[in-house]
Every structure is written in C-alpha cells, then in structure tokens.
C-alpha cells in the first residue's frame, strides 16, 4: 500500500511540472502613417478624403535621409487607415500638393513637398 501511495505521489509531481502552452503572434500593426518633408520646417494643413483636416509640421529635408527613419510624433506624423486616400496639402489657403495615395498596413509613407 505504501509503495502504491509513493508511486501515485511521484506521478502527480511529474504531471504538475509540465510547461504550459504559450502563443506568440507578431507582425506589423494596422496603423499606417504619413509624414511630409520640405527644405524648411513649416506648418501645413492636410485634408484627407475631402473630410478630415489636420495641421502638421514638415520635417526638414536636411534632417531626413533615406537611411534614417523620421521620429514619429503627433506634430509631424498623421495616422491613417490602410487603403487609398485623396491627400490635399495646403499652406495659407494655397494648394501645395494634391494626390491620391495608396498606403499599406504598417507602412510609413514619406511625401516630399
């Protein structure tokens, strides 16, 4: 009887030492962002899909290089849903740029003015 009890306790201890199941998922987030570069830093208004208007500052072209990333802040970066968007950039009611862009999920698009 004692031998059976020791075997049961030993089996119970072995079963309790198991590693649980872990699940890890990774990938890009669904947030897409755009930033604008120019020779000088200036304040611009961006109209998206003829509805939403935002005010941003451009990043100096000198500060941006192809090998470096732009530091994404709320001052110079706009978050969009992935897909096709009609972008209109204005400064003092003057249209600087009007174009249709397609942005993928997790993409950071940089547009030069």
List, for residues 60-87, the tens digit of each pLDDT value: 776 556 656 667 777 888 889 999 999 9
The pTM for the full model equals 0.66
**C-alpha–C-alpha distance, residues 96 and 74, integer Å:** 21
Rama region for 65: left / alpha / beta (φ>0; ψ in -120 to 50; rest): beta
Q: Is residue 60 part of a domain?
A: yes
Q: Is residue 53 part of a domain?
A: yes
Q: Is residue 15 part of a domain?
A: no
Q: Is residue 85 part of a domain?
A: yes
Domain hosting 39: range is 26-112
Domain count, the chain: 1
The percent of residues above 90 in pLDDT, for the chain, comes to 24
Cβ atoms within 10 Å, residue 26: 4
The CATH number of the domain holding residue 35 is 2.60.40
């Amino acid at each position: 009887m004692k031998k059976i009890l020791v075997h049961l306790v030993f089996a119970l201890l072995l079963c309790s030492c198991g590693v649980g199941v872990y699940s890890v998922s990774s990938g890009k987030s669904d947030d897409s962002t755009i930033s604008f570069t120019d020779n000088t830093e200036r304040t611009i208004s961006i109209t998206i899909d003829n509805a939403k208007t935002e005010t941003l500052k451009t990043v100096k072209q000198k500060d941006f290089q192809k090998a470096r990333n732009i530091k994404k802040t709320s001052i110079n970066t706009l978050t969009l849903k992935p897909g096709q968007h009609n972008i209109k950039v204005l400064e003092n009611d003057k249209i600087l740029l009007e174009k249709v862009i397609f942005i993928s999920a997790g993409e950071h698009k940089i547009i030069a003015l």
